[in-house]
Amino acid sequence: MYPLMNFHTHTTYCDGENTPEELVKEAIARGFIAIGFSGHGNTPFDSRYCMSREGTEAYKKEIARLKQVYGGQIEIYCGIEADLLGQTDTEGFDYVIGSLHYLEKNGERYSIDGSLGHFKKLLAAYEGDAYTMAEDYFALLSQTVERLGADIIGHFDLISKFNENGEFFDENHPRYQAAASACLERLLKTDCIFEINTGAIARGYRTLPYPSATQIAQIAKAGNRFLLTSDCHQKENLDHSFEAVTHLSFWKDVEKTLITDTSFLKKH
């Protein structure tokens, strides 16, 4: 197994269940070499899960304190997960995860991944046309680096969270494949990093990580880097399924450019 680290973690400052200090202690107990925090950036139209502007400042101060207290035992980094439709100031963070959790349709914003009910409302706004929905999703996601300056692309195919068994659309459909591929082509022209994200496995929505094996192959062919993350919302899930995914058939593509230390953060 590779050196343990996780750069996609959420705390009580947003929708996580544990404090940053609890997560640091858990990471040390598990032998992690590094932990990066990635609180949800502010989305003023939906405050249920994100940090407020005031909360973001308190979050920064707490992570800085933890660096002082625990820096001799583990590397600690302060990142942010910024949503494309949010209003997040990404300056001053060690790294930025760029994500898309919403789509706008008919003047309203709908959550992609909040719950199955939320997803069904989104699909209904598209009158059941899942392929147009996917095309809109990937077209917007393709702007992640350009608009957010993201270092890491969060859960690339999040639109498929509730579609494990193909209930809502066929992920092999030409329109879906074309939209995802075009999005990747644009992102792959940058040096952005792609998560192998096990968060939906931890929460019981999927049996495989994001992105799909087809998308992983396209990323690997271009030579872009991968980062193994768990999108942790509970300390028990800091390294959920990390060992398991290394035995999946696509892992041979991932490990060629897998990030296994913190040197990728040095540009900050």
Q: Where are the alpha helices (DSSP H) in the chain?
A: 20-29, 53-70, 116-125, 130-141, 144-148, 174-187, 199-202, 213-222, 242-245, 251-254
**How many residues are there in the chain?**
268
Q: Pull the structure tokens for residue 189.
A: 């022209």
Q: Is 268's pLDDT higher than 70?
A: no
Distance of CA 10 to the CA centre of its chain: 11
The Cα–Cα gap between 162 and 168 comes to 8
Summarize the confidence of residues 198-220 as an average pLDDT: 97
> 95-112 pLDDT, tens per residue?
999 999 999 999 999 999
CA atoms within 13 A on the CB side of 118: 15
Distance of CA 162 to the CA centre of its chain: 16
Q: What is the pLDDT of residue 1?
A: 74
| One-character DSSP codes across 191-248 | T-EEEEE-HHHHTTS-SS-BS-HHHHHHHHHHT--EEEE--BSSGGGTTTTHHHHTTS
pLDDT(267) > 70: no
Residues 48-83: tens digit of each pLDDT: 899 998 999 999 999 999 999 999 999 999 999 999
**For residue 227, what is the domain's CATH number?**
3.20.20.140
Degrees (nearest 5) of the Cα angle 22, 40, 23? 10
When divided into structural domains, the chain yields a total of 1
Nearby residues of 10 by Cβ (< 8 Å), 6 or more positions away: 16, 37, 38, 39, 40, 81, 231, 232, 233
Phi-psi sector, 92: left (phi>0), alpha (psi -120 to 50), beta: left
Whether residue 20 is preceded by a cis peptide bond, meaning omega within 30 degrees of 0, is no
Mean pLDDT of 103-122: 97
Structural domain for 93, as ranges:
5-265
The 10s digit of each residue's pLDDT in 138-178 is 999 999 999 999 999 999 999 999 999 999 999 999 999 99
Residue 5: name the closest of 250, 243, 263, 228 by CA: 228
pLDDT at 266: 72
Whether the per-residue pLDDT at 11 is higher than 90: the answer is: yes
Task: Please report the pLDDT score of residue 68 as a whole number.
Answer: 98
Q: Is the pLDDT of residue 94 over 90?
A: yes
Res 100: pLDDT: 98
Q: Assess contact for 149 and 97: CB atoms under 8 A.
A: no
**Alpha-carbon torsion angle 142, 143, 148, 154, nearest 10:** -10
